Amino acid sequence: MDIAFIIDSSGSIRRSDFQKQKNFVKEIVKSFGLAPDHSQAAIVLFSTSASVQARFGQYATTEEFAKAVDALRHERGFTRIDRGLNLAATVIFPEARAGVPKLALLITDGVGQTQLASTKDLREASEPLRKAGVRVLAVGI
């Protein structure tokens, strides 16, 4: 499986909950196991903006990936889930392997995203992922 974690790093996430998110991601990856010919994982961190923190195949082992997760910084900006979804659709999943199940796991506190003039509706923002055959799941933390 190619799984991308889209992680909330906004200001509505408490420090302890940000750590819970990181622990959750590490446990999920540990259960799948990472290897070049096995499962691969990627990370998109979102707040006011979104950034790629890990690409598919970048980390060959679960231990290397866990270190990258531990290094994630809590940005504490706005909650722009739409930007995280967009980055996963345009940068992360085009690099996914053909013929492998694809999963985008959105992890957030459920407070909702910041509504600005440029904010996209979440159904609209996730549509490119769904059209690409990516299963999109949300997890509340």
Predicted pLDDT at 116: 72
CA–CA separation, 93 and 134 (whole Å): 8
Which of the pair, 114 or 89, is modelled with greater confidence?
A: 89
Convert the pLDDT of each residue in 4-59 to its tens digit.
999 999 999 999 999 999 999 999 999 988 887 889 999 999 999 999 999 999 99
* CA-based nearest residue to 21, from 52, 44, 40: 44
- pTM of the predicted model as reported, rounded to 2 decimal places: 0.93
Residue 141 CA to chain centroid, in angstroms? 13
The H-assigned helical ranges of the chain are 15-32, 62-70, 81-87, 122-131
Convert the pLDDT of each residue in 37-51 to its tens digit.
889 999 999 999 999
Q: Are 9 and 87 in contact (CB under 8 A)?
A: no
Predicted pLDDT at 131: 96
CA–CA separation, 140 and 107 (whole Å): 6
pLDDT mean over 104-109: 94
